[in-house]
């Protein structure tokens, strides 16, 4: 993974009005913390409306082009705001991402509470271009800014009892209108086995397209697990907890027959609604074959050696 500076320079940011306000605020905050976080400071040129950062020439390791910034930021599943993918971005105007703290706790020797600025100072973000495969059989290629989750976990030193990692999304009904839906066990929670969480591909992202995450993409800090369905990549994290037992997750609790704990991308394991054998890359018309572990099989398959992936879906 390398940062090609030529590709993150021009920050002409398309912003809807409420987002632009949030963006300026972030920019001012960053200016206040001048120098502290040089490499991840938002390149805050309040840009001309209507132009977006260009992903021209950027590809994943398979040679697939990154998706457009407008599509990545306007077509999202974030049920805390809306179950309508295209409505989410417009409903994030009240969502405050500053100040923000993340508690890393549980079965650890060295529990920590990080402010976002501590995260930026302590860990070096790099550009990581990963495929994101939604369980709804669509996919994108996203140029994230992030670092390996394992770096945080090493700092807090999990004890020998810790076997799983549980993640929790912020719960702010006043700022997140979708939380009024009573049918989900809010807050959103997700989990990984500790060895999955320690895998270098398991990423903590704070940005995409070279700038800070927008609220609809899980600002200010989120998980990206590229070999699993998108629902595992929990957004707007406030708590990371090392635990002994397999944690409950929102989707596994809501519909256990549809969403297992693992959520590994697997074209061979069927789902009652969407054929997982194929997917549509956003921006394309025809479907393409879905790759096992979303194309990261050679990196992650050993995590599941000897496991029945159909039973552990």
Q: Binding residues for another protein, per CB under 8 A?
A: 67-68, 70-71, 74-75, 79, 83, 85-86, 138, 181, 183-184, 254-255, 258, 270, 272-273, 275, 277-278, 280, 282-283, 285-287
Nearest distance, CB of residue 130 and another protein, angstroms = 18
The token pair at 246 is 């397999």
Nearest distance, CB of residue 138 and another protein, angstroms = 6
124 or 253: whose CB is closer to another protein? 253
135 or 240: whose CB is closer to another protein? 135
Rounded Cα distance between 234 and 221, Å, is 9
Nearest distance, CB of residue 9 and another protein, angstroms = 25
Nearest distance, CB of residue 100 and another protein, angstroms = 27
Asked whether 184 and 82 are in contact (CB, 8 A), the reply is no
Rounded Cα distance between 300 and 153, Å, is 19
Q: What are phi and psi of 185, to 5 degrees?
A: -80, 70
The token pair at 257 is 């027959």
96 or 280: whose CB is closer to another protein? 280
Q: What are phi and psi of 139, to 5 degrees?
A: -150, 160
Q: Which residues contact 286 (CB under 8 A, 6 or more apart)?
A: 280
Nearest distance, CB of residue 14 and another protein, angstroms = 10
97 or 252: whose CB is closer to another protein? 252
20 or 287: whose CB is closer to another protein? 287
21 or 288: whose CB is closer to another protein? 288
The token pair at 242 is 């090392």
Degrees to nearest 5, angle at CA 44 with 42 and 47: 135
Beta bridge partners of 207: 145, 212
Nearest distance, CB of residue 109 and another protein, angstroms = 38
The backbone region for 137, taken as left when phi is positive above 0, alpha when psi lies in -120 to 50, beta otherwise, is left
Nearest distance, CB of residue 71 and another protein, angstroms = 4
Q: Which residues contact 284 (CB under 8 A, 6 or more apart)?
A: none
Rounded Cα distance between 169 and 232, Å, is 12
125 or 276: whose CB is closer to another protein? 276
Nearest distance, CB of residue 190 and another protein, angstroms = 16
Residue 258, number of CB atoms within 10 A of its CB: 14
H or E stretch at 31: helix 17-32
70 or 161: whose CB is closer to another protein? 70
């Amino acid at each position: 993974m390398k940062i090609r500076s030529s590709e993150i320079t021009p920050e002409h940011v398309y912003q809807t009005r409420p987002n632009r306000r949030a963006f300026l605020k972030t920019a001012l905050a960053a200016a206040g913390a001048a120098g502290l976080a040089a490499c991840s400071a938002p390149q805050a040129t309040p840009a001309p409306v209507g132009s977006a950062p260009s992903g021209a020439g950027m590809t994943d390791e398979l040679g697939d082009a990154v998706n457009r910034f407008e599509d990545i930021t306007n077509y999202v599943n974030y049920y805390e705001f809306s179950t309508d993918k295209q409505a989410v971005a417009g409903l994030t105007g009240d969502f405050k991402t500053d100040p923000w703290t993340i508690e890393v706790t549980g079965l650890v020797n060295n529990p920590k509470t990080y402010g976002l600025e501590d995260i930026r100072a302590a860990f070096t973000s790099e550009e990581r271009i990963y495929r994101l495969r939604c369980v709804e059989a669509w996919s994108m290629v996203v140029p994230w800014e992030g670092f390996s989750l394992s770096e945080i976990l090493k700092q807090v030193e999990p004890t020998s009892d810790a076997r799983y990692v549980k993640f929790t999304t912020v719960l702010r009904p006043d700022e997140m209108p979708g939380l009024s839906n009573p049918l989900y066990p809010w807050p959103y929670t997700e989990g990984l086995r500790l060895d999955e969480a320690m895998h270098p591909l398991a990423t903590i992202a704070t940005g995409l397209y070279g700038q800070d995450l927008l609220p609809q993409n899980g600002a200010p800090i989120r998980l990206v697990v590229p070999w699993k369905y998108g629902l595992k990549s929990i957004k707007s994290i406030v708590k990371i907890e090392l635990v002994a037992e397999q944690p409950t997750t929102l989707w596994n609790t809501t519909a256990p027959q549809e969403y297992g704990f693992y959520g590994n991308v697997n074209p061979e394991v069927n789902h009652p609604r969407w054929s997982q054998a194929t997917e549509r890359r956003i921006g394309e018309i025809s479907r393409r074959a879905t790759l096992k572990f979303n194309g990261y099989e050679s990196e992650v398959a050993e995590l599941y050696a000897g496991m029945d992936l159909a039973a552990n879906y």
